[in-house]
Structure 1
Amino acid sequence: MAEKQLMAHAVGEQMNLMALLKNVNVRVAKNGKQYLDLTFEDQSGEITGKFWDASAADIERFKAGRVVHLTGKREMYQGSPQVKINALRLANADEPQDPSEFVVHAPMKASEMEDELNQVVFEITNQVWNRIVRFLIAKHRDAFFTYPAAKHNHHAFEGGLAFHTLSILRLAHSVVKQYPTINAPLLYAGAILHDLGKVIELSGPVSTQYTVEGNLLGHISIVDGEIVSACNELKFDVHNENVVLLRHMILAHHGLMEYGSPVRPRLLEAEVLHQLDELDASIRMMTNAVENTTPGEFGERLFAMDGRSFYRPNAPETGSTSSQDDQK
């Protein structure tokens, strides 16, 4: 019988399973004793838990990236799921120990995502933007198709960066079809590069952490620097308007300065990219929360969505026939 995964457990249900320690933080409780603030992960998702009264040996033993055997009970705390830990130990020699077996993956293979992305690159008919995009994707190819798009929140899984990028490109195609005055090649080029800096900002798909450059510079500044570096390699004038427009797409894509963008969008295409980025990230976060919620209840509170929780209706699943239709 297959072992039940983390997010398959209902509130109040006992857990007895193998999981990956995705994140481990040493904290100090009000009583002065140290404890471990843990995030467990498997291919169903992730859940947090606290290991109280952690000894020096526990702190040395339970490191991020290690596979453990967890015994505990799923609970809810302040609107978020967590596990009350009863027992925790490292995996034995005869148990799974490969962290990659416990990482959530994108719903597409890397080769499939690369093929789809390459088709869009052909639509970037401006040669300056096309060559910069091709140069940077080739430079960071392996990381781009395997890294997550975030440590937490949206697309925080292996291949999430490329999958998030493709999602935005699909939305962009629909918007361009509806509004043909949009400069499609500029929008597509900006969409492909907007989060590319995360291959330097983040450590990778297993136990994802922010790197020193990620903490000190951030992915927006990083990818802007990558564009300038590409221009130097390709012998493009960084003051050329095409280069400036592309850099603006990247620098403005968070929309507001308080959200990390040094400038606000001042191009139609930059505003569209910002809105599509927000839309895709928000839908992914809400979908993940609702999928792990019992029908008829509200899910966990989402910090990135202003602390709101979202309701999962008891209504039939999408695509099924409603009772009203049955009465016709």
Structure 2
Amino acid sequence: MADKQLMAYAVGEQMNLMALLKNVSVRVAKNGKQYLDLTFEDQSGEITGKFWDASTADIERYQAGRVVRLAGKRENYQGSPQVKIGSLRLANADEPHDPSDFVVHAPMKASEMEDELNQVVFEITNQVWNRIVRFLIAKHRDAFFTYPAAKRNHHAFQGGLAYHTLSILRLAHSVVKQYPTLDAPLLYAGAILHDLGKVIELSGPVSTQYTVEGNLLGHISIVDGEIVSACNELKFDLNNENVVLLRHMILAHHGLLEYGSPVRPRLLEAEVLHQLDELDASIMMMTNAIEHTAPGEFGERLFAMDGRSFYRPNEPQIGEQDNQE
């Protein structure tokens, strides 16, 4: 009989299953002893837990990217799911131990996402933007269609980067239809490239970590540098207005200086891209939390949503709506 998955356990229920160590951090408790702050993952989601009084051997043993047998109790801590660890060990050879089997995947295949993206590239009729986009997507193709869009929070799953990009492009098509004065090719080019720097900022889809470049530079600066490199390869003048406009789309897409953008949006299309990026990321975070919440309850608090928790309304029973009419 297969194990239940992480998010199938109710609060207070005893857990016993195989899981991937997605993230591992060594911390020091108030008593001066070391402990491990762990994030467990399987295809249903992720949950945190603390391994107290960790020895040097424990720290060496429990590394991110390894599969473990976890036993414990599902709890909630300050509004977020957590497991009180009872026992922990590495997977045996005769147990599931391939990390890729425990990673959440995008709801589309990489080939399907690539086909949809390529169709939008044809709509980028400005040749400067079109050639830069095609150059950079070709350069980072494998990573772009397999990497997550974040270490945690929104689209933090294999293929999440491309899926998030496609979501924004679909929203952009709707906005362009409503507001035809928008420069659609600029908006599409900016949407495709806005998070491309994450293929360098992040380590990959399994046990995702920030790279040295990611920590020191950030994906906004990284992709701006990639655009400059592409322009040098393609012999485009960096002072060309088309190049400057595209770089602004990337540099401004976080909207505020305190959120990492070196400049605030000063183009209509840059402001639209920022709003669509926020909308897609927020909906994904809220949807994921609500899916793991029982009807009639509030879900976990979302740090990226100002610490708010969101309510899942009671789902009407079959026939209940008819009786109310």
TM over 0.5: yes
- TM-score computed with the length of structure 2 as normaliser: 0.98
The CA deviation at 1:325 is: 5.3
Residue 133 (structure 1) aligns with:
133
The Cα offsets for residues 14-38 of structure 1, whole Å up to 9 and x where unpaired, read as 1110000000001111111110000
Distance 1:30 1:301 in 2: 25
**How far did 1:250 drift?**
0.2
Give the CA deviation at 1:97.
1.1
Please give the per-residue CA displacement for 1:168-211, whole angstroms capped at 9, x wherever unaligned. Answer: 00000000000000000000000000000000000000000000
Change (3 A) 1:318 1:113: farther
3-state SS of the aligned residue for 1:53? coil
CA 1:32–1:270 in 2, change beyond 3 Å: closer, same or farther? Answer: same
Q: Any idea what SS the aligned residue of 2:297 has? A: coil
How much does 1:318 deviate? 13
CA distance in 1, matches of 2:295, 2:55: 40
Report the CA distance between 1:221 and its aligned residue.
0.3
Runs of 4 or more, structure 1, over 6 Å off, are none
Equivalent-residue separation in structure 1 for 2:318 and 2:122 (angstroms): 35
TM-fit CA distance, 1:315: 2.8
CA distance in 2, matches of 1:298, 1:4: 23
Q: 1:308, 1:14 → 2: CA distance? A: 28
Distance in 1 between residues matched to 2:110 and 2:316, nearest whole Å: 33
SS, match of residue 24 in structure 2: strand
Change in Cα spacing, 1:311 to 1:101, as seen in structure 2 (3 Å) is same
Matches within 5 A, 1:109-258: 109-258=109-258
Deviation per CA, 1:283-326, whole angstroms, max 9, x where unpaired?
0000000000111110100000000000011034999xxx4555
SS at match of 1:223: helix
**C-alpha offsets along residues 39-58 of structure 1, whole Å, 9 cap, x if unaligned?**
00000000000000111110
* Equivalent position of 2:286 in the other structure: 286
For 2:208 and 2:318, locate their aligned partners in 1 and report how far apart those are by CA, in whole Å: 33
Cα distance in 1 between the residues matched to 2:138 and 2:147: 15
Deviation per residue, 1:119-176 (Å, 9 max, x gap): 0000000000000000000000000000000001000000000000000000000000
Secondary structure of 1:300 counterpart? coil
Give the alignment's TM-score, normalised by structure 1: 0.97
Pair 1:316–1:110, CA change in 2 (3 A): farther
Distance 1:45 1:262, change over 3 A: same
Aligned partner of 1:326 in structure 2 is: 323
Cα distance, 1:3 vs structure 2: 1.4
Shift of 1:327: 4.8
1:96 deviates by 1.1
Separation in 1, partners of 2:237, 2:14:
62
Change in 2 beyond 3 A, CA 1:318/1:49: farther
Q: Mark the CA change 1:97 to 1:317 in structure 2 (over 3 Å): closer, same or farther.
A: farther
Taking structure 1 as reference, are residues 11 and 242 closer, same or farther at Cα in structure 2, changes over 3 Å only? same
Gaps of at least 5 residues in structure 2 are none
CA separation in 1, counterparts of 2:200 and 2:46?
24
Aligned residues: 325
CA distance in 2, matches of 1:118, 1:326: 49
5+ residue gaps in structure 1?
none
Percent of matched pairs sharing the same residue: 90
Question: Aligned partners of 2:215 and 2:92: how far apart in 1?
Answer: 35
2:316 & 2:127 partners in 1: Cα distance?
49
CA RMSD after TM alignment: 1.4
The alignment partner of 2:23 has SS state of strand
How far apart, in 1, do the equivalents of 2:123 and 2:308 lie? 39
Note closer, same or farther for the CA distance 1:316–1:185 as it changes in structure 2 (3 Å cut): farther
| Structure-2 separation of matches of 1:5 and 1:130 | 44
How far is the alpha carbon of 1:2 from its aligned partner? 2.4
Q: Distance in 1 between matches of 2:192 and 2:285?
A: 21
Deviations 1:73-110 (A, max 9, x none): 10001111000000000000101111000000000000
